[in-house]
Amino acid sequence: MFLAVSMIGLISEAEAHPLFNSGEEWIGDHRVQIATLPEIPAVDEEIQVLFQIVDADFQELDQFTMGIRIFYDGEQIDAVMPKMYQNGHMEMDYIFEMSGNHVFRVDLYDVADDGQPLTYTFNISSQNTFG
């Protein structure tokens, strides 16, 4: 009986495997989550980059303005101009041209009390395919 009770505690604390190219960051009362499909992007292949934006109560924002700046080796290589989105999420197609770490700086507008954009930073890696 004791063994069964102890194992139940271990099972309830188990977590799902986190995605390789995913992350989340809180700034103030807002959280931005990012993930890629496929989980490990290949160079020169189209992927989806998924974003979700929630408030302090974990409710998706009805409407938000977001821009994205993409950096590689310290230099900005791409950008998505600020645009208004609905329903707390955004998906975009993207193609990495180089393998390695890319830094996505996600700028969230019109949500901070002082009116300044909130910038969330995420590392996304891409790899060369073998063959």
Which tokens go with 80?
């998505």
Tens digit of each residue's pLDDT, the chain (131 residues): 444 444 344 333 444 445 556 889 999 899 999 999 998 899 999 999 999 999 999 999 999 999 999 999 999 999 999 999 999 999 999 999 999 999 999 999 988 888 899 999 999 999 887 64
Q: Are 114 and 15 in contact (CB under 8 A)?
A: no
CATH superfamily of 19-126: Macroglobulin (MG2) domain (2.60.40.1930)
Q: Are 63 and 108 in contact (CB under 8 A)?
A: no
The domains of the chain are located at: 19-126
Q: Say what the alpha-carbon torsion angle 88, 93, 96, 97 is, to the nearest 10 degrees.
A: -140
pLDDT at 131: 46
Q: Say what the alpha-carbon torsion angle 17, 39, 58, 78 is, to the nearest 10 degrees.
A: 150
Handedness of CA 59, 60, 64, 68 (dihedral sign): positive
pTM: 0.81
pLDDT at 130: 67
pLDDT at 14: 42
Counting every residue written for the chain, the total comes to 131
